[in-house]
Structure 1
């Protein structure tokens, strides 16, 4: 059996040209090789296959029986090898691929509808699959379950295999009942720290961004806990809880406005000092999809569709 590690693929390219042209000089012209170089390659091929391959006759070279049988298989094999190493082609107009996203509801509702609008116009056969169930945001990326994560959070572990793109800044606001004491009067850090807060816990761990920011501002001491009598695993029921209690949620402003529309709720801007720095949403993807042409196209469309 031939050892493939010793096989020179260049010889097979020369062989196909020789068998198609049945002429050493003409094959050399097609390959950009000299006639002596092609003749040497033919000698090596004859030794490799233990067959004359090209047989000289009064009419010129003719294919041996082995070469006749070999040519179609050789051409198919080399064509497949070329496809194997060539850059994959992505045509959005004909693609039926599924692109999978994970992210919390506010960011999904903000960034992905414009992307989907562009997909429906430019890639009507593609499918956008979105998962917002509570979990560690970056586990699906590590496992390869999704192509992208859109989130305001940062990975806590190593990011060596993750790529990211910063999206729009997230303006934060408080949403509460119109009857909540915080709905009226100055919105100070003292009043925010003393309020009853709700938390949408996506991971089931930690006290949330409000508690972290108040600790950083010195409003809470390290180890002190914010009053958080309500923890949810979904954003959908926030309006109902806020309307019937003194609970306050801090959410992206645009999402808070959508939740409050038509409800007995009010949305108030958070004081600038409640956050240490501007919060941005980010798009994350794993190294395994970094060069994938479909994923590159999706990133371009998401950037183009930002509003």
Structure 2
């Protein structure tokens, strides 16, 4: 970004310049900006030297703008509002915003919190559009780093350069066919759980990270019979099989009332899903982003 011409100018002259071009009279311009008349006269002389133009010339009706001064004034009518916005306090009024909101999450996140997020955005910022992005962790992290995605909703580990806030801790349940050999159990032990094949929800790199990482840490991985990209897809695969799907409990509406399915508490080793929102640290103090985090926080309650 070149600043060759800016570097040689005292930007404190900008305010007197605007006043002189609008008032077209030294004493009125001085009173407007709180300067004495001699000080405004000196500012005018400096402006004439810097801009190499008299700016104000006398005619029978008083002072008028030169052609160069009129051109400068026309450009300042666009520039000054932009500078006012740039240098104003970091305020944000959602009702006046139309900047789109971009949130990334799995189908679980979008189904569970998406409607509440959209309703709150729509209520508070009617001109704002909402886009939910599919969660593919590596790609989404790059998009969060670049600012293309505002917030990610995620239940796994994340790089240290991103900021995170815990939203809640979800319960996992095991969903299986009503005639599954374990359907009559009150709860599942880890041995029971690992005895049967599993449906894995691909949340990152072909693994359901919140389930498979703790099992890997124990040295007891589960047998993945089928891997699917969406949580609710697993429900259609369960009837008539001995498969087990480990799903967040808030998806219960997907299997409640289904006579062909049964839900049991997951083994203690994989019972909980810590769920968080993640974002780029550069937006920690940004007022718009703080508003959006509040929207997501309220939607997840």
Q: Report the TM range for the smaller structure's normalisation.
A: 0.7 to 0.9
Alignment of 1:211-250 (within 5 A): 211-216=212-217, 218=218, 221=219, 225-250=221-246
Of 137-146 and 167-176, more deviation after overlay is shown by 137-146
8 Å Cα contact 1:207-1:226 kept in structure 2: no
Q: Distance in 1 between matches of 2:37 and 2:114?
A: 60
Question: Which of 255, 275, 279 is residue 281 of structure 1 equivalent to?
Answer: 275
Structure 2 unaligned runs (5+)?
none
Give TM-score, length-normalised by structure 1.
0.81
Of 238-247 and 194-203, more deviation after overlay is shown by 194-203
Name 1:149's counterpart in structure 2: 152
8 Å Cα contact 1:199-1:208 kept in structure 2: no
Alignment of 1:82-101 (within 5 A): 82-86=84-88, 91-93=93-95, 95-101=97-103
Name 2:168's counterpart in structure 1: 168
Q: Distance in 2 between matches of 1:57 and 1:127?
A: 54
Q: Distance in 2 between matches of 1:78 and 1:93?
A: 24
Q: Distance in 2 between matches of 1:239 and 1:68?
A: 71
Q: CA RMSD in A?
A: 3.1
Per the alignment, do residues 94 and 29 of structure 1 end up closer, same or farther by CA in structure 2, a change over 3 Å counting? closer
8 Å Cα contact 1:239-1:263 kept in structure 2: no
Q: Distance in 1 between matches of 2:221 and 2:300?
A: 37
Name 1:20's counterpart in structure 2: 22
Name 1:299's counterpart in structure 2: 293
Q: Distance in 1 between matches of 2:292 and 2:224?
A: 38
DSSP-derived class of the 1:138 partner: helix
Structure 1 unaligned runs (5+)?
none
Give TM-score, length-normalised by structure 2.
0.82
Aligned residues: 295
DSSP-derived class of the 2:122 partner: helix
Name 2:196's counterpart in structure 1: 195
The offset of 1:103, in angstroms, is 0.9
The offset of 1:240, in angstroms, is 2.0
8 Å Cα contact 1:164-1:284 kept in structure 2: yes
Alignment of 1:41-56 (within 5 A): 41-55=43-57
Question: Which of 33, 46, 50 is residue 35 of structure 2 equivalent to?
Answer: 33
Q: For each residue in 1:109-132, what CA deviation from the matched residue of structure 2 results, as whole angstroms up to 9, or x when unmatched?
A: 222221122233333443222233
The offset of 1:207, in angstroms, is 6.8
Q: For each residue in 1:163-213, what CA deviation from the matched residue of structure 2 results, as whole angstroms up to 9, or x when unmatched?
A: 222212111111111111222235222212323222112333457433432
DSSP-derived class of the 1:284 partner: strand
The offset of 1:70, in angstroms, is 4.2
The offset of 1:104, in angstroms, is 1.0
Q: Distance in 1 between matches of 2:256 and 2:205?
A: 25
Question: Which of 219, 244, 257 is residue 261 of structure 1 equivalent to?
Answer: 257
